[in-house]
Structure 1
Amino acid sequence: MAVKDFMTKKVIYVSPETTVASAADLMREHGIHRLPVIENDKLVGLVTEGTIAEASPSKATSLSIYEMNYLLNKTKVGQIMIKDVVTVSKLASLEDAVALMLAHSIGVLPVVDHDVISGIITDKDVFKAFLEVSGYGEDGVRVRLITDNGIGVLEKIIHLISEENLNISHTVNIPRKDGKVIIEVQIDGEFDKEQLKAKFTENGFEVDGIVRTSSKQ
């Protein structure tokens, strides 16, 4: 899974000369929490709700609302933006992006190659990718199997399902600490769940669950 397959390609951005007030308005308008700062087609920083809040006068200030608005309209994004921005390549794996987010305690990564931004990936994009890969929200049947983690195990599962003339739409493998593996298989169509469960059991698989899923669209 590559970052380019899950990133948001339409990037809303500002320049260093954009006022803080304008940047805040842009975030509210589009329902976003951060904006890349672009200058001469290159990423030079990142402005977030947090950096704007830090730049805004405290509620305890003696300034009037007009004076505060004046300051926000005078202050430029380039004065408050984060300059040391953590980025990721569009060719990097989604797992690399998640690792970077966790390591730096951040929820967004501009996607940059050769100083040019081509997208942005956020923690929400990662959540959506997980749902897509797992087959969440699709009609079908999800089978959860517990088995030894050995050569040919997945091939055997696929063979047993294909014998029933059924199609697999998604698979997820989850290693366990005891050396076994959980394999979740999403299968399309209508069929006898108990018959399939019995077939897996007869062939040495522990069936931990078999449930029908419905469309969430």
Structure 2
Amino acid sequence: MFVRDYMSTSPITIPVNTPVLEALNIMRNKKIRQLPVVDRGKLVGIISERELLTVSPSPASTLSIYEMNYLLAKMTVKDVLVKDPIHVPSSCTIEEAALQMRQHRIRCLLVVDAGELVGIITQTDVFDALIRTFGLHRAGVRLVLEMDNKVGALADVLMVVKEHGLNVLGVACREKDDGKVHVMLRLNAANADELLNDLNGRGIKVIYNN
């Protein structure tokens, strides 16, 4: 799974001299929370709804409504943008993109190839990729197996699945601290009772079936 398969292409951008209020209106009208900022076609930063709201005067401010509007009309995104935003190439994997978001505590990543902004990927896009990987958008049976963490364990299970003529829609593994591994299988089947009996008969523990 790569970022290029899930990113939003041709993202909406704003010039660096865009007034703060105008940027906020664009976000609200387009229902987005971040906007890349460009200067003469070159990416110079990113601005989020959170940053724009923090520069708005507090309701407790002693400024009059006219003074506040005057100040906001003069303020542009150049004054509050995040410079040199974290970005990834379109060839980046989804898991690496998720790790970058988690480590830097950000909600999106700009996608840049050869110095050119080609897209943007958000947390929602990453979630969609994971849902698709696990096959949750398709009908089928979901199994979670507990097995010894050893070479060939997954291959043995997949061979049993193949013997029953079932197609695997998704696979995920989670290593445990006790030398065991949990394996999630999403199968293209309405019923997997025969497979369950076969797995149990071979000593493969099924801890979840839905």
Query: Contact 1:41 / 1:116 at 8 angstroms: preserved in 2?
Result: no
Name the structure 1 match of 2:138: 138
1:135 match: secondary structure = coil
Name the structure 1 match of 2:159: 159
Name the structure 2 match of 1:147: 147
Name the structure 1 match of 2:80: 80
Q: Which amino acid counterpart does residue 195 of structure 1 have in structure 2?
A: E
Name the structure 2 match of 1:215: none
User: Distance between the aligned counterparts of 2:188 and 2:140, measured in 1?
Assistant: 5
Q: Which amino acid counterpart does residue 208 of structure 1 have in structure 2?
A: I
Name the structure 1 match of 2:128: 128
Name the structure 1 match of 2:54: 54
% of aligned pairs identical?
35
User: Distance between the aligned counterparts of 1:45 and 1:36, measured in 2?
Assistant: 6
The size of the alignment, in residue pairs, is 210
Q: Describe the superposition over 1:76-128 as per-residue Cα deviations: whole angstroms up to 9, x where unpaired.
A: 11122111311112112222212222222211111112321111111121111
59-68 vs 144-153, greater mean Cα deviation: 59-68
Query: Aligned-pair distance for 1:54?
Result: 2.3
Name the structure 2 match of 1:195: 194
Query: Contact 2:134 / 2:169 at 8 angstroms: preserved in 1?
Result: no
1:63 match: secondary structure = coil
1:172 match: secondary structure = strand
1:110 match: secondary structure = strand
Q: Which amino acid counterpart does residue 183 of structure 2 have in structure 1?
A: I
TM-score, length-scaled by structure 1 = 0.90
User: Distance between the aligned counterparts of 1:119 and 1:49, measured in 2?
Assistant: 19
User: Distance between the aligned counterparts of 1:48 and 1:92, measured in 2?
Assistant: 23
User: Distance between the aligned counterparts of 1:187 and 1:51, measured in 2?
Assistant: 44
TM-score, length-scaled by structure 2 = 0.93
104-113 vs 56-65, greater mean Cα deviation: 56-65
Name the structure 2 match of 1:108: 108
Structure 2 stretches lacking a partner, 5+ long: none
User: Distance between the aligned counterparts of 1:40 and 1:122, measured in 2?
Assistant: 25
Query: Contact 1:16 / 1:39 at 8 angstroms: preserved in 2?
Result: yes
